[in-house]
Amino acid sequence: MIKARITVTLKNGVLDPQGKAIEHALSGLGFGGVGAVRQGKVFDVELAESDKAKAEADLKAMCDKLLANTVIENYSVAIT
Amino acid sequence: MKSAVVLLPGLNRDRDMIAALTKISGKPPITVWQTDTEIPDVDLIAIPGGFSFGDYLRCGAIAARMPVMRAVAEKAAAGVTVIGVCNGFQILVEAGLLPGALMRNTSLKFVCRQVKLEITNANTMFTRRYQPGQIIRTPVAHHDGNYFADADTLARLEGEGQVVFRYADGTNPNGSINDIAGIINDRGNVLGLMPHPENLIEAAHGGTDGRGLFESALGIAA
């Protein structure tokens, strides 16, 4: 079994209203010097697969087909 | 004119769409379910609004990967007219039938109100019953209607007249880039828009401004 963590983040230049709201909330809590905050998503995936290369290829295909919208998002795959 | 309405779990504007199509075309649309792999011969396919699959992952993302959407893509490629309203628009962009993406409203709030729409391009099969530059009123009700496309895509959309509806007079409810409310594909047979024209088609709705869209798409004389 392979476990992986997929991280999906907004591309640079794509406005992130939720990140902005979080940024303001952090400043409001008194955390000084908070720069830009960008919100993303994390998926922990378990795969019944022993071949790491095959797992990585499958995970990337999952990102391209469903987990990320590549019009606005980037993704990274880390096998843990 | 024969029409079909796509049904998916979590949509909630399907009955409004069915009522509008029945009233305007004179014939009730057939309905197709998410698992259907074929859509019968129709002139128009409508994807209604709502919250398909609970808006999980991204609005429209899971619906866009259902078997019925492959059938919709085949029909669109064959030239059949396709309209996606609200969640239907989100599903069309997630399915790659329209460019760009629909993101969270900049206010982070769900908006439910009436907006003004400018008919930016009256020379489409969806807007030929309107005048160029005409301002109509339609309701909106969404949380994720903030249209985004990269600079190249945006330039192409604007240059080719694919921006069909624009929020007018400062009524942009969601921060959508260039005030974009509705776009068509490059072939001109697939339309997606956030506002709900199906909710303004008879006097009891308080107006009939949305009727022209369906009359245009169904080829019905006003």
Q: What is the pLDDT of residues B198-216, one digit of tens each?
A: 999 999 999 999 999 999 9
CB atoms within 10 A of CB B157: 24
pLDDT along chain B (222 residues), means of 10: 96 97 96 96 98 96 97 98 98 98 95 97 97 97 97 97 98 97 98 97 94 95 64
The tens digit of pLDDT for each residue in B71-85 reads 999 999 999 999 999
Number of residue pairs across A and B with CB atoms under 8 Å?
A: 39
Structure-derived torsion over alpha carbons of residues A3, B63, A21, A25, reported in degrees to the nearest 10 = -50
Residue A75: pLDDT above 90?
yes
Query: Rounded to an integer, what distance in angstroms lies between the CA atom of residue B159 and that of residue B178?
Result: 13
Tokens 């109509």 locate to: B136
Task: Please tell me which residue in B59, B86, B142, B215 is annotated as part of the active site.
Answer: B86
Tell me: ipTM over 0.90: no
CA angle, B100 as apex, B143 and B148 as ends, to 5°?
A: 55
Q: What distances in angstroms separate CA A65 from CA A19, B42, B208, one per listed residue?
A: 25, 29, 40
According to the model, what pLDDT value does residue A80 have? Answer: 87
Q: What distances in angstroms separate CA B181 from CA B100, B101, B138, B171, one per listed residue?
A: 12, 12, 11, 11
Percent of chain B scoring above 70 in pLDDT:
99
Write the DSSP symbol of residue B46.
E
Domain hosting A6: range is 2-79
The minimum CA-CA distance between A52 and chain B, rounded to whole Å, is 26
Query: Rounded to an integer, what distance in angstroms lies between the CA atom of residue A35 and that of residue B95?
Result: 35
Q: Who among A21, A66, A71 is closest to B65 (CB)?
A: A66
Respond yes or no: is residue B112 known to be catalytic.
no
Write the DSSP symbol of residue B215.
H
Q: Who among B62, B100, B108 is closest to A71 (CB)?
A: B100
Band of pLDDT at residue A15, cut at 50, 70 and 90: confident
Q: How many domains does chain A have?
A: 1
Tell me the CATH number at A33: 3.30.1280.10
Encoded tokens for B46 = 């409508």
For residue B100, give the amino acid letter. G
pTM of the model: 0.94
The minimum CA-CA distance between B123 and chain A, rounded to whole Å, is 28
Q: Who among B62, B101, B108 is closest to A69 (CB)?
A: B101
